Each structure stands twice: as C-alpha cells, then as structure tokens.
C-alpha cells in the first residue's frame, strides 16, 4: 500500500459491508474518499444518500456496471480509496434542464465563477451519468468556458440499459442527471487506447441528430450498416441479434487530424442507429473492426506511453464495458497488461459507459469502446 493512500475493497453487495469500509476509511486519517460501487449491488438509494450526506470527509465517485481492482473484475462489490489531500469536487446537477447551448454555457460559467474559474487547477477526473443524452454538448461547452488547458480522464456511470438512475456520489447524496469534476492536487498522466481499424468506408453522415444516425449516403443508416457488415463477413442480421453483431463492428468518425473517434451502436429501430455519442452531420463515417490482438496491443501502447517525471501514487482505469462483452474471457489479458506495466502499486478502475480524455488538440472528448488510463 502506498503511504498516502487508504485502500479497501469487497465483493459483497450489501450496504452493511459498505458502511464497514466507509467507517475504516473515515478512521484512516484520509481527507478525501473515492467511492466506487457496482450498479447491481443491493443498496437502498435513500440509505446510501444518507450515508454520504453524513460523511465528514470529502467524497466522490459513482456506481458503474463493473469495477476492477489490480487485475480482478468485480461484478458486485465496492472500492474505497482514501487520499491525504482535500480534493475540490465541483458538481453539475440537473443537466437535462440545460439542453440548449446558451443555457448550458451560462450554467457552466456560473459554476466555474463560483470556483474561481478553476484557475489554479489543471488536472481533473470526471464522473457522469451516462444516460444524459446531451453530455457531449456539456463537455464541449465546459472546454470552451475554461480559459486554460487541462488534463482530464473520466467515465460514464449507471446501468447498461442507459436508463436514468442515481449513480453519481457526492456529499450531497447520490445524484442522477449529473456530472462531477474532481480537481486533483497532483499532475495527471494519461494514456488512451482503442485498437479498432477501418473495415469499410467512408460513408457520409447525411442525416444525424446527436446520438441518432438516420442516414448514410442518403440511405437509411441501419440498412447501409447491415449491408456493409454482411458484404465483409459471414454474419447475417435477424430480428434479435443486432447487439451481438454490432459489438464487433463499431463506427468511426474521422476528425480534422485524421484520428478515428469510435462510436458504439447499441440499438436500432430498423431505420436509424442509436450511438453512444454524437455523429456530426456531414462527417465521414467508417465501419470498423478489431480483434483481441489489436485491442490488447493498443492497451499496451497506452499504458507504456505514461512516462511520469515524478513518483505517482494512484492509477485509475476507465475501461469501456463493451470491451468486456467483445473480448469475453480474454478481457483478463487486458487487465494483466495494465497491471504488468502499471507505474504505481495501487491500481483500480471501472468498466464504464463511455470514456473521457483529451483529444490531440487538448479538447475534452467522449470516447467509446476505449481504454483511458490515468495516473497521478
């Protein structure tokens, strides 16, 4: 254990055991707590909120589909990490009330002004409710409102069905429709990986709105997507196998620097495709493919790219839950690679519903089917 960290974990899904871990953390000398839980735990929301509201220490975190500790996966349970610094946690609540750009920018600016525009902070973690439909607009506005460059890593919390549920942890209780920005007192180092490559395309996103892709090359997007996959593979779509095939073939958007931003397709109405993240209208869209080998190679490149100039204490991984569904039993190899090259002895993480990291130009980006490794 690192001298400045308290670590506790359990694979129990009862709130009684979480209370025990929280009691140990509060008596450890820590000043701030990161609390991560599995979404399927048997917690009463009201009881959990009361527990957090009465905690005398700064706390932050969320409920995710699964957790990781070292190279182990927790489908149920909890992780608590205690830090000896007081972290600044900035909550953004009721995000659905700020759906247009002007109201969103005004709300973000107001919160930033209340926190001195974060002028002394450059390194952040972010936890957000993955069911917020316009979250990408939120991070775009946040980046525009900040007047200095930042380094950020984060992930989406909640249920895999993307229904709105309370999943963000703060001293105000458990929140839904919210995001929290956590200012770190140390420099943050990050590495990102995806491992997907072009199979076919480009296609023109001829009609799209936020997360709905309606047409490609002026044809129904679902029809074009299925036809492209059936041309290249032996897979054939039926009424009930869309997700099982789609998890293997995400979409990619090419940015101005020729980098691919991956977009997972998670549902369809037999005409449109629903994606986790925006597909800009008139953008160039590619059909992607990958293999366990290409995904693992990208992960190794990401973790080995972290070359700190100082001693680090914590490594947190935001790994997309869809990488588990794709790699299945071989996903353990990804965790083993991260542990092998991890720059710290304390390694933990979440299997998330979307990942947050900086793009090549510094902008805050929403990623899919990716791994974001953060260390500080």
Residues 6+ positions from 56 with CB-CB distance below 8 Å: 26
Report pLDDT for 3: 47
Q: How far apart are CA 183 and CA 193, in angstroms?
A: 23
**What are the residue ranges in the chain where pLDDT is below 50?**
1-3
Q: How far apart are CA 267 and CA 243, in angstroms?
A: 7
Q: Checking DSSP bridges between strand 58-64 and strand 32-38, what pairing results, if any?
A: parallel
Question: Is 250:262 a contact under the CB 8 Å cutoff?
Answer: yes
Q: Checking DSSP bridges between strand 179-183 and strand 123-129, what pairing results, if any?
A: antiparallel
Q: How far apart are CA 4 and CA 84, in angstroms?
A: 6
- In the chain, domain spans: 1-195+291-376, 197-289
With residue 101 as reference, give the H or E element that holds it: helix 101-114
pLDDT in tens, 48-78: 999 999 999 999 999 999 999 999 999 999 9
Task: Judge if the upstream peptide bond of residue 202 is cis by omega within 30 degrees of 0.
Answer: yes
Report pLDDT for 374: 98
Report pLDDT for 267: 85
DSSP 3-state of 185 = coil
Q: How far apart are CA 75 and CA 77, in angstroms?
A: 7
Angle at 180 between CA 174 and CA 186, to 5 degrees: 125
Report pLDDT for 205: 97
DSSP state of 6: E
Give the residue carrying structure tokens 């390194």.
123
Angle at 49 between CA 43 and CA 53, to 5 degrees: 145
Question: Is 8:25 a contact under the CB 8 Å cutoff?
Answer: yes
**Paired tokens of 25:** 């953390």
Percent of the chain whose predicted confidence (pLDDT) is above 90: 88
Report pLDDT for 1: 37
pLDDT in tens, 73-96: 999 999 999 999 999 999 999 999
**Paired tokens of 22:** 């929280």
Report pLDDT for 258: 82
Report pLDDT for 4: 63
**Paired tokens of 82:** 């205690």
């Amino acid at each position: 254990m690192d001298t400045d960290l308290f670590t506790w974990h359990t694979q129990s899904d009862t709130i009684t055991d979480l209370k025990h871990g929280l009691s140990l953390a509060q008596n450890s000398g820590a000043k701030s707590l990161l609390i991560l839980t599995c979404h399927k735990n048997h917690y009463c929301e009201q009881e959990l909120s009361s527990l957090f509201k009465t905690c005398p220490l700064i706390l932050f975190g969320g409920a995710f589909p699964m957790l990781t500790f070292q190279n182990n996966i927790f489908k149920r349970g909890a992780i608590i990490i205690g830090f000896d610094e007081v972290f600044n946690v900035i909550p953004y609540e009721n995000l659905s009330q700020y759906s247009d750009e002007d109201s969103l920018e005004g709300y973000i600016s107001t919160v930033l002004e209340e926190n001195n525009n974060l002028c002394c902070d450059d390194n952040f973690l972010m936890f957000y409710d993955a069911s917020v439909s316009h979250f990408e607009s939120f991070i775009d506005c946040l980046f525009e409102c900040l007047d200095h460059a930042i380094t950020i890593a984060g992930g989406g919390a909640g249920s895999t069905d993307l229904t709105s549920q309370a999943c963000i942890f703060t001293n105000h209780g458990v929140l839904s429709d919210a995001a929290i920005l956590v200012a770190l007192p140390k420099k943050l180092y990050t590495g990102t990986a995806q491992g997907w490559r072009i199979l076919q395309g480009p296609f023109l996103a001829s009609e799209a709105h936020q997360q709905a892709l309606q047409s490609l090359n002026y044809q129904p997007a679902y029809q074009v997507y299925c036809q492209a996959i059936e041309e290249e593979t032996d897979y054939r779509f039926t009424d009930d196998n869309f997700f099982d095939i789609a998890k293997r073939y995400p979409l990619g958007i090419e940015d101005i620097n020729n980098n691919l931003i991956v977009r997972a397709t998670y549902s369809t109405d037999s005409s449109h495709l629903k994606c986790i993240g925006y597909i800009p209208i008139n953008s160039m869209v590619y059909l992607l493919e990958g293999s366990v080998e290409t995904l693992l190679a990208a992960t190794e490149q990401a973790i080995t790219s972290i070359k700190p100039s100082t001693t680090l204490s914590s490594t947190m991984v935001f790994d997309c839950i869809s990488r588990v569904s794709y790699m299945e039993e071989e996903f353990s190899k990804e965790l083993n690679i991260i542990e092998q090259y991890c720059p710290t002895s304390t390694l933990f993480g979440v299997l998330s519903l979307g990942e947050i990291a900086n793009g090549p130009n510094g902008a805050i980006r929403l990623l899919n089917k990716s791994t974001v490794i953060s260390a500080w």
